[in-house]
Amino acid sequence: LAQALLPSSLLTALLNSASQQHSFAMSLRCVGFCGVDDSVDVEMLKLISSRFPQAEFGVLFRDGKDGMPRYASKAWVERLADAAATAMPPMRLAAHLCGTHIADLLEHGDTSFVRERLLPLGFRRIQLNATQINGAKLTDYTKAAARLKELIATVPEAEWIVQANEETQELWQPLANTLTPPSNAALLFDASCGTGKMSADFLPLPRNGIRCGYAGGLNPSTIVKAIRALRTGVAKNGVIWLDMESGVRSVVDGKDTFDVAKALSVCKSLEAEGWEMIQSAESDVPPPPLPPNVKVSGHPLLAHKLTLMRDRSTPPREFRSLLREVTTHLGYEATAHLSTGERSDVVSPVGPVPSNQAVRLTDSVALVPIMRSGLGMVDAMLELLPNAVVHHVGMFHAGGGQPIEYYSRLPRDSACDLAFILEPTIATSATVNATIGKLKGWGARRIVVLSVIVSRRGLFELGDKHPDVEVCAVSVDHLLTDDGFVFPGVGDVGDRQFGTPAGNPTSKSVYARPQIMAAVEHPRTCSSSNSRTSSPGPVSGGGLCSPSLGPQHAPITRVLGDHGVILDTLDIAEPESAEPSATQLTTHDGAYGPAPVRMDWGAASPALRGPVVATSRHPNQRNAIGAHSGGYSIYRALAVASQNLNEAYTPKLGLTTPVARIGPFAKWFDKKAIVTIDPFGHAISEGFAPWIEKGYDIRPTIAVTKAHIELPECREALRLNRLQADGSVLSADGQSFVTKAAIEPVWYLPGVAERFGVSEQRLRESLFKETNSMYPELVTRKDLKLFLPPIGGMTVYIWGDPEKIPDESVELTVRVHDECNGSDVFGSDICTCRPYLTHAIEECIKTAQRGGTGVVVYFRKEGRALGEVTKYLVYNMRKRQEGGDRASEYFNCTKEVAGVTDTRFQVLMPDVLHWLGVTKIHRFISMSDMKHDAVVAAGIKIVERVEIPPEMVPKDAQVEITAKVFAGYHSGKAYEAAKDKAALDAVRGREYTSATAYGVSVREGGGALGAASEAK
């Protein structure tokens, strides 16, 4: 640990940094009681929590031990979670993971247990007991440390705790060594490795500010000695927590049980010692002074009224009154330095008042309450400044990321001299800092912040970013809770004022955790199947079947088989189709109104999962952000606006069902395998019949049909005998017969984020920002996990029988092709796109004729997903650069124009192959390493890679193919020459002159032969 300890000079800087949360005297975040189990009634734990809200209850999770002493059963954990959610205040829960859970997380990166089990149950702290005594078996701690860093970033809603001891050094030391540790990472120093042995010496706190706790041998008889030693020793000036397991166990009737009496004894001892120990004036390490722009009132009357506000039993009416009174007193102090001017027109009852004794306020003043908590301060300030204008700013901080602004109407060109920001509490200062920045940009000349309670961290952050802004406050509290509240604070001021759930202890089920609707089977009798259906006989599941649909929706074909088992429609809420009374700019999760249709991505059947609801007809029941058809939704809007389309029209889907059976496959039910398309998108009238029968407007996102394709290249191949007509795959006149599927993107945001190794929050914020705020629900609706992005989808072309694709013994040829309109459609020779595409089609035809299957997936990713305009700009740069269009500068030109060489991100591409059931590709028609590596990483085997024949490469495309081969793309022996640096420099394409006249603007390139010829 000595390597993790920073120099004392840096410690001083850290103590003065706004990012630190030290209270400058050792304080306890909480005390953890690990190993709660079925031996204790959850209501007893609830009572302890109500008396000592600092108590945290830890549940041990280890495979094969459910229901054993110290390892709670699943049913008991459910009861605990329900009790925790309905407690007031909510109980603290921590999950202590052991056994195979450690390998799942730190070797395989599998967060499903945390995301799908622990977080929904209310566990917000996840401790990793990565020691042998806890059943953990890690083969490489260094790699595990790297994986841990990824977990911390991708699951920011959880605080990740590492049990720190000698055995786990390689895992936790990187966190202790880094200068800026993640805010949701923590260390538990436990030299006993969970055995309960008392530590002789406590390790010092790392000086980088990472959250820390201590464990080992703590019990009712040692707790006082331990906390005193920590407060005067290594944890002095820190904020820690304590944890114990064996110390709160007893043997009762021969059974190892959790001892409630011991837990209560520990809490009482800690209360007597003080949860928060304020440093004495004689301390040798005084806290850093408050920033010079801060004024904290020491008035005893305000301290008295603040105490009444802190009391959680104070009802909303009294809380509002107290807030007004406190604001009035605070306002007097904040307005002490208002600018004044003389008046010469004042006459008192006894005569004229001299101008030096008559004054007027000269500043134009604006009151800026940050809604909604700041509203309670407005009336009191208006009584002091009745001529002030009020400008409301709606902004909130959802935790992680930037604050979200939902309302602002600051008048243009009407900035004030003095703006008072009204914000009752300041925790991290993120929201108030954003408001200050907005007011400065507006033109406010001077800004003063009025706040009842501020955190020390918030003050330093505000002072660092805006040292010119004055802050007037009643109290400075030292700590922040895990969920971002000032501690001890007053809670959520908005809720406390207006009696909304979190501020009203009498409100029912305020803190109840979300309930996951379980599948309830209702046996019902089915008639014989439709003679035209392709479903193989009766489905399983106790007689369940699709409800009767009207003829306009009844599927003419069925492709889901046993997975078409559905729930009775009585389990489905009635659709709401009422016209909203106002246009909503956005919606918020947890607010009245939104009640999205359930969506359990990756569930065992479409009915258990739920449909994608993204039409405008059910605004409150949508479970997806965005609209169907991507960019084409704009044309739908034009049709509605011009009254060419009735927006209430519902498509008739009965005859639109697939012409071929694709799936279901195992990957359809793996929420990590397919995250960019809805695998059931082609079978909604079959899989989601109950919702359609109820009246929900559900649209397909996949359509499967058949076609005859006629290409001049196929006719030429017939003429040259490269292809042979057989009448079933290829006709004598060059027509090939295909099954094709059009697919629109449906993104499961948690899965997409995981693919890119970023947090879901980071992904949402980036999508919101880079679409210029088109989709505010990306940041306001964390409950909506689906996004229908406004991008092009893809088309799958299949030669041969689609049902043979999953059979690894049957030959499969595949090309994944990204759109190139200029070449694919119009034959531009600057690239190899159309030649490679037609070559792939020819190979697919041959494979189908041999009894196999050929597949071409055509993605709408024009210009490497940079767009056609960007691509053409790159063309111009390539053709006009000094030295001509040469292979050595091929990639650089794209980067110079776009800032990046490629944004196709092939990591998302294999989803469609999983949808098709592909597990093995015999011939992969591609030279791209990015595509190859993405497919292999997805678990799909590739036997052979096939490059484009050199004779098919157009003359001007020699620049592209040479650059790619030299860069390491797969190539055969025919391209050996392109790997030579001299060849890279020699290849030239056409050049564009500086002239724009038609006849002299182009020089013909030499292709593989050398420089361009003179202009003609």
> CB–CB of 141/203 below 8 Å?
no
Phi first, then psi: give them for residue 148, nearest 5 degrees: -60, -40
The phi-psi region of residue 509 (left if phi > 0; otherwise alpha if psi is between -120 and 50; otherwise beta) is left
**Please, is 944 exposed, middle or buried when counting C-beta atoms within 10 Å of its C-beta (0-12, 13-18, 19+)?**
exposed
Can the peptide bond before residue 834 be classed as cis, meaning omega within 30 degrees of 0?
A: no
Convert 665-692 to b/e letters by CB count within 10 Å (16 or more is b): bebbbbbbbbbbbbbbbbbbbbbbbbbb
What are 371's two structure tokens?
Answer: 């809604």
Active-site residue, 904 included: yes
**Please, is 55 exposed, middle or buried when counting C-beta atoms within 10 Å of its C-beta (0-12, 13-18, 19+)?**
buried
Q: What is the Cα–Cα distance from 781 to 683, expressed in whole angstroms?
A: 28
> CB–CB of 420/366 below 8 Å?
yes
Pick the closest to residue 937 from 968, 906, 976 (CA basis). 906
Pick the closest to residue 854 from 916, 793, 907 (CA basis). 916
> CB–CB of 879/885 below 8 Å?
yes
Q: Which residues contact 244 (CB under 8 A, 6 or more apart)?
A: 31, 32, 33, 34, 196, 215, 218, 219, 266
1010 alpha-carbon distance from chain centroid: 50
Parallel, antiparallel, or unpaired for β 747-748 and 624-626?
unpaired
Residue that the structure tokens 């593989």 belong to: 1008
What are 30's two structure tokens?
Answer: 């909480």
> CB–CB of 144/175 below 8 Å?
no
Parallel, antiparallel, or unpaired for β 393-396 and 365-371?
parallel
The phi-psi region of residue 143 (left if phi > 0; otherwise alpha if psi is between -120 and 50; otherwise beta) is alpha
Amino acid code (one letter) for 253: D
> CB–CB of 859/816 below 8 Å?
yes
Residue that the structure tokens 């040798």 belong to: 284
> CB–CB of 661/902 below 8 Å?
no
Q: What is the Cα–Cα distance from 585 to 606, expressed in whole angstroms?
A: 31
What are 601's two structure tokens?
Answer: 């991505």
Active-site residue, 902 included: yes
Point out the catalytic residue in the list 661, 886, 904, 945: 904
Q: What is the Cα–Cα distance from 213 to 92, expressed in whole angstroms?
A: 15
The crossing angle, in degrees rounded to 10, of helices 260-273 and 223-232 is 30
Pick the closest to residue 840 from 739, 717, 936 (CA basis). 717
Q: What is the Cα–Cα distance from 410 to 442, expressed in whole angstroms?
A: 8
What are 443's two structure tokens?
Answer: 């033109």
Pick the closest to residue 946 from 807, 805, 846 (CA basis). 846
Point out the catalytic residue in the list 902, 911, 945, 1003: 902
3-state secondary structure 85-138: HHCCCCCEEEEEECCHHHHHHHCCCCCHHHHHHHHHHCCCEEEECCCHHHCCCC
> CB–CB of 456/428 below 8 Å?
no
Phi first, then psi: give them for residue 221, nearest 5 degrees: -85, -20
Q: Which residues are catalytically annotated?
A: 902, 904
